[in-house]
Amino acid sequence: MREKETIVTSEGLKQLEKELEVLKSVKRREVAQRIKQAIEFGDISENSEYEDAKNEQAFIEGRIITLEKMLRNARVIENGNLDKNTVALGSTVLIKDLELGDEIKYTIVGSVEADPDSNKISNESPVGKAILGQKKGEVVVVEVPAGKLEYKIVDIL
């Protein structure tokens, strides 16, 4: 079975690499120290500090494996060579909600980097899917649990 491709911007790639480095160099050492201290308290069968530290260690190791897999399968999208006529991964798009009249600026990123609070939406999200491949001036209909939303692509920045 082929592993899923991880689509990231160069900024996102750096963030994943940094997180992996911190987990390997800092967090692993910290949790190992916590486990060592917990063992020194004696009986580990009823030692909640030991259990917490072991659980954190399992989480850290799992995250390291996940990050290594993501980095191994990373495909970096470069913003510099994007076509400004068509919405693509890495595009920053100004869209208008035709019902409310609000304009929203989104950057289309891979699911790993999606952060709606920073206006970064995934290419796999309903809005991301709907506007990918569209051109400036086009109207798209987005199916969401609450019904249908209509957006006009005002500009591709």
What does the pLDDT read at residue 143?
A: 87
What does the pLDDT read at residue 81?
A: 63
Quick check: 24 pLDDT over 90?
yes
Interval 131-154: pLDDT, tens: 999 999 999 999 888 889 999 999
Interval 25-62: pLDDT, tens: 999 999 999 999 888 877 777 778 899 999 999 999 99
Q: Locate 26 and state its tokens.
A: 């800092």
Tell me if 6-76 shares its fold with 81-156.
no
What does the pLDDT read at residue 80?
A: 63
Architecture (CATH level 2) of domain 81-156: Roll (3.10)
- Global pTM reads 0.76
CATH 1.10.287.180 fits 6-76, yes or no: yes
Domain ranges of the chain: 6-76, 81-156
Quick check: 14 pLDDT over 90?
yes
Interval 74-127: pLDDT, tens: 988 876 667 788 999 889 999 999 999 999 999 999 999 999 999 999 999 999
SS (H, E, C) the chain: CCCCCEEEEHHHHHHHHHHHHHHHHHHHHHHHHHHHHHHHCCCCCCCHHHHHHHHHHHHHHHHHHHHHHHHHCEEEECCCCCCCCECCCCCEEEEEECCCCCEEEEEEECCCCCEHHHCEEECCCHHHHHHCCCECCCEEEEEECCEEEEEEEEEEC
What does the pLDDT read at residue 79?
A: 66
